[in-house]
Amino acid sequence: MPTIRDVVQVLGNREGVEAVIVLGRDGLPIDSRTANGVDCESVAALVPSVVESCNHLGDAGGRGDFGFGVVEFANGLAVIAELTPDTLLTILIRRDINIGQLLFELQRHRAAIAHLL
Instruction: Compute φ and ψ for 75, nearest 5 degrees.
Output: -115, 15
DSSP for 10-73?
HHHTSTTEEEEEEEETTS-EEEEEE-TT--HHHHHHHHHHHHHHHHHHHHHTT--S--EEEEEE
Residue 54 belongs to domain with CATH number: 3.30.450.30
How far is Cα 86 from Cα 106, in angstroms, rounded to an integer? Answer: 18
pLDDT of residue 1: 79
Range of the domain at 63: 4-115
How far is Cα 20 from Cα 10, in angstroms, rounded to an integer? Answer: 10
Q: Write out pLDDT tens, residues 3-25.
A: 999 999 999 999 999 999 999 99
Residue 98: band (very low, low, confident or very high) from pLDDT cuts 50, 70, 90: very high
Q: How many domains does one find in the chain?
A: 1
pLDDT of residue 36: 84
What is the Cβ-side half-sphere exposure of residue 22, based on CA atoms within 13 angstroms? 21
Say if residue 2's pLDDT is above 90: no
Q: Residue 41: which region, alpha, beta or left (left: phi > 0; alpha: psi -120 to 50)?
A: alpha
Q: Write out pLDDT tens, residues 39-76.
A: 999 999 999 999 999 999 999 999 999 999 999 999 99
